[in-house]
Amino acid sequence: MSNQVNSSISTLPIMEHFFSIQGEGFHSGRAAYFIRIAGCDVGCVWCDVKESWNAEKHEHQLIEELVKTVKESNCGFCVITGGEPCMYDISELTDKLKNEGIEIALETSGCYKLIGNVDWYCFSPKKFKAPQEEAYKKACELKVIISHSSDLAWAEAHANKVNSSCKLFLQAEWSKQEQFLPLIIEYVKENPKWRISIQTHKHMDIR
């Protein structure tokens, strides 16, 4: 049974929202306003925002006010992340952002169907919960976290299923960078269809 929530009351549970720099993946280095929606049932052991998992610990915020704040940042680019944002119907949020001319990127595990309209779909599959088939079709970016050498073969299995225009990224799990980044570097040299994603925001010590 799906745990997807219909958010029809013009609010969403928000852990945090802030203006910063996208630190990883295709849009790395770009000014972005982040909306981190609370709630996740995927359970990644290495998740660095586990405080986002329990939506009940975070206040619901008005979508209208969130959109106003994003617009006031003047960056024109919003990243909707989590938690797992696709646990919710985010169509009101995405529609209102688009009405203000704001470009939208989504970060998702693909475990739930997207109810909403985004410009960039970053698909980061996890072993702990299988993705929906639509994630492979919608993916603009496939970002696979590498925390074990076997994850490279697992990444290839997903790369074989995404659409032909999808950008492919490998990213070492932060606490295991020294161990796996050299492996990833050599792998990308041998398999240049892949790119390396680095969590540059952590190196720059920015939120």
Whether 4 is covered by a domain: the verdict is no
What's the pLDDT band for 5 if we cut at 50, 70, 90?
low
Q: If DSSP codes are grouped into helix, strand and coil, which group holds residue 29?
A: coil
Does a structural domain hold residue 198?
yes
> What is the rounded CA–CA span in Å between residue 82 and residue 44?
12
Q: What is the mean pLDDT of residues 20-48?
A: 89
Rounded Cα distance between 76 and 54, Å, is: 29
Confidence band for 159, pLDDT divided at 50, 70 and 90: very high
pLDDT of residue 140: 98
> Residue 193 sits in a domain of what CATH number?
3.20.20.70
pLDDT at 1: 37
Flag whether the pTM goes above 0.85: yes
| The pLDDT of residue 6 is above 60 | no
User: Do residues 90 and 80 lie in contact, with contact meaning Cβ atoms separated by under 8 Å?
Assistant: yes
User: Do the domain assignments include residue 50?
Assistant: yes
Q: Burial-class residue 35 by CB neighbours within 10 Å (0-12, 13-18, 19+).
A: buried
Q: What would the DSSP string read from start to end of 79-136?
A: EEEES-GGGBB-HHHHHHHHHTT-EEEEEE-S-S--BS--SEEEE--BTTBPPPTHHH
Predicted local distance difference test score (pLDDT) of residue 3: 59
Tally of domains in the chain: 1
Stretch (H or E) spanning 154: helix 151-159
Average pLDDT of the segment spanning 122-137: 94
The mean pLDDT of 174-181, rounded to a whole number, is: 82
Q: In the structure encoding, which two tokens stand for residue 97, read together?
A: 């952002």
pLDDT at 21: 95
With a cut of 60, say whether residue 154 has pLDDT above it.
yes
Is residue 90 within 8 Å of 63, Cβ to Cβ?
A: no
- Note whether residue 31 is domain-resident: yes
Phi and psi of 79, rounded to 5°?
-105, 120
Q: Work out the average pLDDT over 34-38.
A: 96
What pLDDT, on a 0 to 100 scale, did the predictor assign at position 203?
A: 66
Q: Measured at the alpha carbon of residue 120, what is the angle toward residues 3 and 63, in degrees to the nearest 5?
A: 55
Mean pLDDT, residues 131-155 taken together:
95
How confident is residue 9, by pLDDT bands cut at 50, 70 and 90?
A: low
Judge whether 5 lies within some domain: no
Q: Is residue 43 part of a domain?
A: yes
Does residue 3 form part of some domain?
Answer: no
Say whether pLDDT at 119 is over 80.
yes
Residue 164 inside a domain? The answer is yes
Q: Give dist(CA 115, CA 113) in Å, integer.
A: 6
The boundaries of the domain holding residue 79 are 11-203
